Amino acid sequence: MAETPGLVLDKKTLDNKIFVQETSRPINTTTYFTSQGDDITGPTKVGGGTLMAITHNLGDPAIQNIYIDFNIKENKTYIHEGYVMWKDAIFDSLTLSIVPTVTTYSAGTNTNFNLYGGYLITPAAGNGTITVDPANMKLIEMPISRDRGTRAAAYWDADYSTSTHTFSNIRPNLSGLGQYMMFGTEVALSRFVNHFLLLNNGFMMLQTSDTEELGCNMRLKFTLNTENGDHVWQAACGLTMHREKNC
C-alpha cells in the first residue's frame, strides 16, 4: 500500500511498542472544564453564563430546573463527562437532559409551517396550521453521528454568516436530509443522567470514555428533585467538554 505523504503508519517505540493516543478528544479541539455556560449575548463568547449550581430552600418547588446555554455555531463543542457535588441531600435526585431552544409560534391557516406531534415544526406547502416569525426561528443543528456518519432526520436548511453571526435563506428540506430542526415545545433530545440519587454530602465523577457533540441552540437542562419532604439542600455540577475555543 502506498503511503500518504506526512502520514505515519504504526509508529513504534525503540522496544517495538505501537504509539497510541488515549483520548476521546476530537481533532482540533481542546479539553475544557467548566461549571458555567456561555454568555449568549455574544455568539463568540466563551463562559460568563449561568452557573451549574442550585440551592433548594424551604418552600421552593420540589422540582427545580437550570438551563445552561453554549455558543456552539462558531465553536464546535462536545460533552465528555460530568461531576456532581451535593450537601444535605436525602435521597434527592439529579437529571441532566439536552433540550432544544424553543421557537415561538401562533395559530394560523394556509401557512408554510405545521406542528407535528405537538412539538416539532415541519414545512408545509401553503396548507400549514401555525405561523412562525422568521426573526424568532431557533434552528437546532443535528450533528453528524460519529457512530453512523449520518444526521438524525432534519427538515430545514439555512445559510450562516460568521461575519454577521446570523442565519439567512432558511428553507425546507422535505426529504428529511437537512441540517436543522425547529421545535415549538420543549422535549428531551437526550437524557444521559436520569434521577441520579444523592444522599448526605458527597462527590461523584460520572466517568466515560465517550464524547458527544452538541448542535447549536441545544441547551443543557439540569433538573433537581427534592424527593423526601421539604428540606434545605444544595448541588453543584461540572463538565469536561471538548471545544475548538476555550476562551
So what's the pLDDT on residue 23? 83
Name 82's bridge partners.
206, 239
SS3 breakdown of the chain: % helix, strand, coil, rounded to 5? 0, 55, 45
Helix (H, G, I), strand (E, B) or coil at 199: strand
Domain residue ranges in the chain? 30-100+188-243, 106-183
Phi, psi of 134 (to 5 degrees): -55, -30
The DSSP symbol for 171 reads: E
Helix (H, G, I), strand (E, B) or coil at 121: strand
So what's the pLDDT on residue 1? 45
So what's the pLDDT on residue 8? 55
So what's the pLDDT on residue 169? 96
Question: Which residue, among 132, 182, 186, has the nearest Cα to 158 in the 3D structure?
Answer: 182
- What class, spelled out in words, does domain 30-100+188-243 have in CATH? mainly beta
In the chain (247 residues long), the average pLDDT of successive 10-residue segments reads 54 78 87 98 97 97 98 97 97 97 97 97 97 95 89 96 96 96 97 96 94 96 96 97 97
pTM of the prediction? 0.89
Distance, in Å, from the CA atom of 3 to the CA atom of 6, rounded to the nearest integer, reads 8
Geometric angle at alpha carbon 119, from 165 and 224, rounded to 5°: 85
Q: Going by C-beta distance under 8 Å and a sequence separation of 6 or more, which residues neighbour residue 174?
A: 123, 155
